[in-house]
Structure formats: structure tokens, C-alpha cells
Structure 1
């Protein structure tokens, strides 16, 4: 029973991380309700142990909420190894295998493959003729919440064309790539950032997104 409970907790945490990343394919409201119920049951059980069976009435709704919030914070922050760390200031240049994406984001294999070229995109792994590798930058910060709209615009492009669009420097973006402007941070292998580029990266997310949307529409029009 204890092992099954641990498995259920691990699955719930993975689903919740996928939901936060915008990559959960199930019913989000049902998931949240289930997790809230599980947490509240855990809080009540803990109170019963401390104060004696049947004496949980003293646990106020306010203290229950605080306990649930603490547990959610543990799941979303400390459990993933990111506790105490600031948001990244550099975009990763690595490419993840499907297995790495599943491990790092918590999504299922079916969700990963269904979402390819809709929620995120893949490229052919270096040195291979087929297969999938996922540029890691697209899973950083709030990129997952904005990328699907851009992929919808670029839906007629091949995987290589999509990757080239996001990774290439654009004159209209002060020689930054669309990926960097979308994320609001430079790639980790960029040696320096000019004042003009820094100003571009610090623009409000809506302004940056609008510029990339316009660029994506021009990209599609040029290919027609």
C-alpha cells in the first residue's frame, strides 16, 4: 500500500509539473481538484496523528491552506532540484532526446509525440538520418505558453525551417535570434550582448511576442 501511494504521489507531481509547463494533455481542472483533495486528506491525516483520532476539528481552514500551499511549493520547486535557484538568465543550446524531455517535463510519451510541431518542435538528431531531438530552449521560462501560437503560424514549414527561423539571428531583432527574443534572454554561447540587444530582451513579453509573430508571418509569406 505504501509503495502504491508513493507511485501515485510521483505521478501526481509529474502531471502537475507538466500542467505548469503547459504540456498536460488531460483535464486540468480535474487534476487540480484531485491533487487538492489528496493534499487536504494528507493534512487532515497529519493533524489526526498529532492531536489524536477524531480531533481534527481544531485544524482551521487557514492552517490547512497554508499546509497545502507548502506542499505544492515542495512539489513544484524543491522536488525538481530547482529549490532556491533563480530563473535562468541564459538559454540552453542543448538538444534533448525524447527520453530526456519526458524525464525533465513529466509529460507522457504519447503527449510528447502528439505535441510535436504543435506545442513544441523537434529536429533530426545530429549525425542521424531520422529520429527526434528537441532543442532545450523551448522548454525554458514561459516559452511553452507562447510557442504554440508561433508554431501554428509556421505550420507549413518543415522541422528544419522552423528551427532555422528560431535559431537564426535577424536584423530586425538587433541581430538576436527569435528564440532569444521570445524567451527574453540570450543563448548561453553568446559571448556578449550589446546595449541595443539588452533593451530588446528587456521589452515586455507582449511586445517581444508581437515582433516575432510579425516576423513569422513574413517568413511564411516569403515561402509561398
Structure 2
């Protein structure tokens, strides 16, 4: 039971980090409710679970739980439904070092390296023969929740081939790149977005993902 409790708390911490970084894809309010209940249970346990512990500062445990939920929501969830900065309007073109990815996402170094080419991908930094640099676009909006499925399809491709696939403009995508269509927004260095491209980017997330999945499968088939 203790191990299970530690595991659950570790999962909550990871989810909260994702929420703070704007990468949590679940129900934010359900997560806040769960965290608040666990916090209240911890306070009660430390108080020995005595009847008097059911009230804090004259409030019932339910009132305290609601207050915790309210405060956590105020701190962590913004009006746009995500914590942290507002949803970006374009994709970054930068490449991040492992340290910057860790700082941005809150994941550990071991998790980052284990997830390379599975949850996200890296390329060799410019001017170097080895090392890792992570294209920043893949940590934007809801891309992290869709990318693992695509990387599974592209698993036989090299890191550079994966990056080339995502970054190259495709005629079938109205001259947008798979990265842009997957995220539903253009790269920050794209000077103009024509009406056809705007319509492509405005498609529902499922429709955009389906298009990139089809292209990824064609990519793998062409390399066989």
C-alpha cells in the first residue's frame, strides 16, 4: 500500500508539472480535485484522524477541501484552460538543449533520454558530431500527446529523417509542414499564411492527426 501511495503521488506530481507547463491533456479540474483530496487526507492523518481534526479554523473538512480546490485552481489554471502562458499562436523554430527541456517540462534527465525517439525526438546540435538538441516545436500545445504515436510509426527512421519529415513542407498539406498541421499553427518564421493553409490549420485535431499519420505511413513505406 505504501508503494502504491508513493507511485500515485509521483504521478500526481508529474501531472501537476505538466499542468504548470501547459502540457497536461487530461481534465484539469479533476486533477485539482484529486490533489486537494489527497492534501486534506494528509492533514487529517497528521492530526491523528481525531474527531477534532475534522475541523480546521472552524471549517468542516468539506469546506476546507473546497477552499483548497479554489486556491489551487486560481494558482494553476488560467482562463484559457491551461496553466502558465497563454496558448501560443505559432511554433518556435529553436532547438533546446536537454537542460532546457528538463527545465521547461519538469521531467528528469533519465526520463528525457529514455523517451528519446519514443515520446519526443532529438537531433545532433549544429556544428557538432554528437550530442542532443530537441526541436522546441514538439513541446508546444497538445503536440506531446500526439507525437508518441507518430514516432512509433517512424521508429525505423533516423533522428535526422524524423526531423526532416516533420519540418518539410508537403504539397498534400497545402505547403505546410507536418509539424505545423499537427500543432494547428504555423512556424514563427513563416511570413504569410494563405487561406487554404488557414483552413488546414483550423481542422479538428483528430482530422489533422489522421493526415499526418497517413503521411508517416507513406514515409515508412517509401523507405522499405
Scaled to the shorter chain, the TM-score interval is 0.7 to 0.9
CA positional deviation for 1:36: 3.8
Q: Residue in 2 aligned with 1:70? A: 71
Which blocks of at least 5 consecutive residues in structure 1 are unaligned? Answer: 1-11, 24-30, 45-51
Distance 2:223 2:70 in 1: 49
Per-residue CA distance 1:116-150 (angstroms, 9 max, x = gap): 00000000001100000000000000000000000
Deviates more, 1:131-140 or 1:13-22: 13-22
Distance 1:60 1:138 in 2: 42
Distance 1:164 1:75 in 2: 36
C-alpha contact 2:32 2:72 (8 A) present in aligned 1: no
Are 1:128 and 2:128 matched, yes or no?
yes
User: Does the residue aligned with 1:169 lie in a helix, a strand or coil?
Assistant: coil
Per-residue CA distance 1:165-206 (angstroms, 9 max, x = gap): 000000000000000000000000000100000000000000
Choose the corresponding residue for 1:21, options 20, 23, 39: 23
Distance 1:133 1:22, change over 3 A: farther
Distance 1:36 1:61 in 2: 11
The list of structure 1 runs, each at least 4 consecutive aligned residues, that deviate by more than 3 angstroms after superposition, is 12-15, 18-23, 31-39, 41-44, 52-55
Distance 1:222 1:53, change over 3 A: closer
Distance 1:165 1:66 in 2: 48
Are 1:106 and 2:106 matched, yes or no?
yes
How do 1:151-166 and structure 2 match up within 5 A? 151-166=151-166
* Residues matched between the structures, number: 198
Distance 1:55 1:37, change over 3 A: closer
How do 1:145-184 and structure 2 match up within 5 A? 145-184=145-184
How do 1:1-150 and structure 2 match up within 5 A? 16-18=16-18, 21=23, 35-36=35-36, 39-40=39-40, 55-56=55-56, 58-59=59-60, 61=62, 64-75=65-76, 83=84, 85-150=85-150
Distance 1:145 1:15, change over 3 A: closer
Which blocks of at least 5 consecutive residues in structure 2 are unaligned? Answer: 1-11, 26-30, 45-51
Distance 1:161 1:185, change over 3 A: same
CA positional deviation for 1:17: 1.5
> TM-score with structure 1 length normalisation?
0.76
Distance 1:35 1:67 in 2: 9
User: Does the residue aligned with 2:209 lie in a helix, a strand or coil?
Assistant: helix
C-alpha contact 1:15 1:107 (8 A) present in aligned 2: no
